[in-house]
Amino acid sequence: MELSCAVQNYAWGVKGIKSSVAQFAKATQASLEVKDDQPFAELWMGTHPSGPSVVKGSGVNLDKYISEHLEVLGSPVAEKFQNQLPFLFKVLSVNQALSIQAHPNKAHAEELHQSRPEVYKDPNHKPEMAIALTPFQALCGFRPEKEIIKHFTEVHELQNVIGKDLCHAFISSPNEKNLKACFNAMMTASKDTIASALSEYMQRLSSLDSTKGAELLRDLFLTLHEKYPGDVGCFSIYLLNCFTLQPGEAMFLGPNVIHAYLYGDCIECMACSDNVVRAGLTPKYQDVETLISMLEYEMLPAELRKFKGNAIDKYTVSYDPPVPDFAVDMIEIPEGVPEYSLRTIDSASIIIIVEGQAKDLTISPPSPGEVTQATEVQRGSVLFLGAKQSLLLKFDGNSRFLAFRALCLL
């Protein structure tokens, strides 16, 4: 059955119909008004109360439908996750950097929710995975020690923010304890110290030749500073890995891993939560002390932050992270293939069509309740498939078909 899904208009989203989120939402909600100056940042597919999906035709919220037909979750999922859909599926269209952030583990999430429910609105953890739809730029995890030492040595304005003694202590002994001390000093420096260092560094960058400017990530620094002037988060690029995922590449973000998305479109899947601890590159509430205390300070190469999928067959790659809450299948059918059946699993799943179209859908057994079964799909269509339902897609053979499927593999 087809879903109508919620749109989030966060300021960092791509504006107007250029946004993939706007395109997907418009495809299934013809009446949706898309203004040229309005950002369309996220499409939410699932049951989270901040943006629940609705069953098309009946208008019933997906969480209500599931509660009335628990068999669609699958027995293992229903038992483990207290009769709730355990994941939240998203599309993101990023036009400017999201906040420097991390997500708490389950126990920490419960603690934060209990102490500050107005900020941390649910008690669940939020491991998440991003799969690139376009070249997707991100910060993730701390750089290898040699790269941090190089930046401490060359960016003396950063040393002025952190403090020369702390920087030299790290250079002499590059361990996690010293890195934490440096990061803490940077993120808690006075506004005057940060403003002065950023101003001096902006002037110096402008005088560098192209080779040296590229080594010091000049373009990225200037882009961040244009959007977030005076924000110490602009200096974070010298401590954090910066890389670009190509379409189909993924990264998994477990608890306490520092990250920030910078630019591009991606599919994202996570545990059903919206718990974020922020500190930099955002006008939103920043909880610097909590972030610093909870982070893992492991220093790894950027390549190790990527997450590899496993081929299920010729056309499906499964991204199955080390958490029970979710996994994602990428289904890519080339031109000329007449039909394809999605694998049958004992879990509810949500499917979004990113490219191409399919007709004569065969769904077996039919979905329970008074619902309209989808018979064809196109770019932007979002489907809900119950546990143990099979889905046969038929193609005209003239175009590539690309879809992503969130599911739970227990």
Mean pLDDT of 348-376: 92
If pLDDT is split at 50, 70 and 90, which confidence band does 28 have?
Answer: confident
Q: Is the separation of the CB atoms in 352 and 381 below 8 Å?
A: yes
What residues are paired with 89 via a beta bridge?
45, 269
**Section 94-118 average pLDDT:** 90
Domains assigned to the chain: 3-140+244-285 (2.60.120.10), 144-238 (1.10.441.10), 310-407 (2.60.120.10)
**Range 43-55 average pLDDT:** 94
pLDDT, tens digit (0-9, with 9 covering 90-100), for 239-289: 999 999 999 999 999 999 999 999 999 999 999 887 889 998 888 888 999
| 217 has pLDDT over 90 | yes
Average pLDDT over residues 376-402: 93
- % of the chain exceeding 90 in pLDDT: 81
Output Rg (C-alpha) for the chain, integer angstroms: 23
Is residue 278 part of the annotated active site? The answer reads yes
How far from the centroid of its chain's Cα atoms is residue 348's Cα?
A: 21
Of the listed ranges 259-268, 343-352, 363-372, the one predicted with least confidence: 363-372
- 3-state helix, strand and coil shares in percent for the chain, rounded to the nearest 5: 30, 30, 40
Please say if the pLDDT value at position 122 is more than 90.
Answer: no
Amino acid at 240: L
Q: Is the pLDDT of residue 349 over 90?
A: yes
CA-wise closest residue to 280 among 298, 258, 295, 296? 258
As given in the structure block, the two tokens for residue 35 are 């203004």
Question: What distance separates the 2 farthest-apart alpha carbons in the chain?
Answer: 69
**Catalytic member of 143, 278, 379, 405:** 278
pLDDT of residue 256: 93
Taking the C-alpha atoms of residue 338 and residue 94, their distance in angstroms, rounded to an integer, is 35
Task: Supply the mean pLDDT for the chain.
Answer: 94
Question: pLDDT at position 266, please?
Answer: 98
Q: How confident is the model at residue 101 (pLDDT cuts 50, 70, 90)?
A: very high
Chain CA centroid to CA 194, Å: 29
Number of Cβ within a 10 Å radius of residue 283: 10
Q: Is the pLDDT of residue 121 over 90?
A: no
Q: Write down the pLDDT at residue 124.
A: 79
